Structure 1
Amino acid sequence: MKLYDGAWAPSPRRVRIFLAEKGIEIERVVLDLRHGEHLEPDYAGINPQRQLPSLLLDDGTLIDDSIAICRYFEALQPDPPLFGGTPREIGLVEAWLRRIEHDCFQAVAIALRNRSPAFAGRAVSGQWPPIEQIPALVDRGRCMWDAFATVLDGHLADQAYIAGDDFTMADIAGLAAIDFGIDTRMPDPREGRPALARWHAAVAARPSASA
């Protein structure tokens, strides 16, 4: 099997952190996102959506979603369990993954894709007809970002990790989304939020975070 990867984007980073936590090594093909290598015909023939990451299995099956790729490897290698080890934990991880995706990651994506000239005509990721930017959505994304950070800070006030006492995929997704926001000039959510800052320092210090 082969993993198509991108160096700086948050979705590929989720998979790299996950695989590092699992101790799984896999052949990787790194595409240059900044120069649009993922938009070229060679990769489009593999993934028509032109998005990263993608996992190409030996039988030709393509899995082109970061969480789905991680679930595939979780099924292959259940330990350590990063999607939860009990029904309660599995439910909490799933709930927080959805919240992080919708309220945090999408907040960053909305603000960035409707602000940056690099995304003119491509305000929504993936392969679509031209979708133009809506500048007013930049403020909407920033409001969502700030609101999520406040909620997460309160949630982390009395627990070590997002889904409870153990490091899980929810923490991986949260770290990747928050770092992506900071890297793209969203307001630093750690400022004035001590629980979120403590959590971020802890998860960012794990060796897998540099994968």
Structure 2
Amino acid sequence: MKLYDLKAGLNPRRVRIFLAEKGIDIPIVPIDMAAGENATPEFLKLNPLGKLPVLVLDDGTVLTESVAICRYLESLHPEPPLFGRTPLEQAQVEMWNRRMEHEILVHVTNMFRHTHPFWIGRQTQFKDFGEWSRNILLDRMRWLDGELAEREFVAGDTYTVADITAQCALLVAKACKVPIPEDMPNLAAWWSRVTSRPSARA
């Protein structure tokens, strides 16, 4: 199998960190979105939406969407379990991963797409919407800071895919000049824990 990757992409990074946590080594094919490589006929045969990451299996089967790719990899390499071990843990990780997507990642993405210079000329930007997303993100970060007062990681006592989602989202937020505020000590301590892991460099 091989992974088509966008080095600076939020969702591709989720898969790379997942691979690193699992100790899985597969060939990676870098795609330059700025140069339009994701819009070539060859790439669009893999993913007509032109998005990354894309995992191509040995038999030619194509998987897209970062969580779907991670779930497939988890089934092949169950240790360490990043989606939970017991039925209850799996439900809790699913719940928290969805919360990280809906309460953190989506607002980071909207802020990035509507305020960052990278998107000028690539899409219509609505700066007011981008600033609204920034304010909502800060509110949700404060909520997450409160949640992390009682546990080390997003979904419990162990590092999971929910942490990976939040970690990658907040890395993009930082690039958009929205670092973790000083009055959010629990979130800052969590950030220090997850970014000190070797997989954070993936």
2:185 paired with 1:194: yes
Native 8 Å contact 1:38 1:51 kept in 2: yes
Corresponding residue of 1:126: none
Question: Tell me, what secondary structure is at the counterpart of 1:158?
Answer: coil
Separation (CA, whole Å) in 2 of partners of 1:120 and 1:59: 39
RMSD across aligned C-alpha pairs, in angstroms? 1.5
Match of 1:158 among 150, 160, 163: 150
Post-superposition shift, 1:58? 1.9
Separation (CA, whole Å) in 2 of partners of 1:66 and 1:208: 16
Q: Report the AA paired with residue 193 of structure 1.
A: M
Q: Report the AA paired with residue 60 of structure 2.
A: G
- After superposition, the C-alpha distances for 1:35-59 in whole angstroms (9 at most, x for unaligned) are 3322223212221111110001122
Corresponding residue of 2:51: 51
2:83 paired with 1:83: yes
The TM-score normalised by the length of structure 1 is: 0.90
The TM-score normalised by the length of structure 2 is: 0.94
2:144 paired with 1:145: no
Corresponding residue of 2:34: 34
Separation (CA, whole Å) in 1 of partners of 2:190 and 2:101: 18
Native 8 Å contact 2:115 2:131 kept in 1: no
Separation (CA, whole Å) in 2 of partners of 1:27 and 1:144: 38
Separation (CA, whole Å) in 1 of partners of 2:117 and 2:164: 29
Question: Tell me, what secondary structure is at the counterpart of 1:110?
Answer: helix
**Change in CA separation of 1:160 and 1:144 when aligned onto 2, cut-off 3 Å:** same
Separation (CA, whole Å) in 2 of partners of 1:103 and 1:121: 28
- After superposition, the C-alpha distances for 1:151-182 in whole angstroms (9 at most, x for unaligned) are 11000011111111111111111111101110
Runs of 5+ unmatched residues, structure 1: 124-131
Runs of 5+ unmatched residues, structure 2: none
Identity, % of aligned positions = 44
2:155 paired with 1:171: no
Post-superposition shift, 1:109? 1.2
Post-superposition shift, 1:105? 1.1
Question: Tell me, what secondary structure is at the counterpart of 1:24?
Answer: coil
Post-superposition shift, 1:72? 0.2
Q: Report the AA paired with residue 207 of structure 1.
A: P
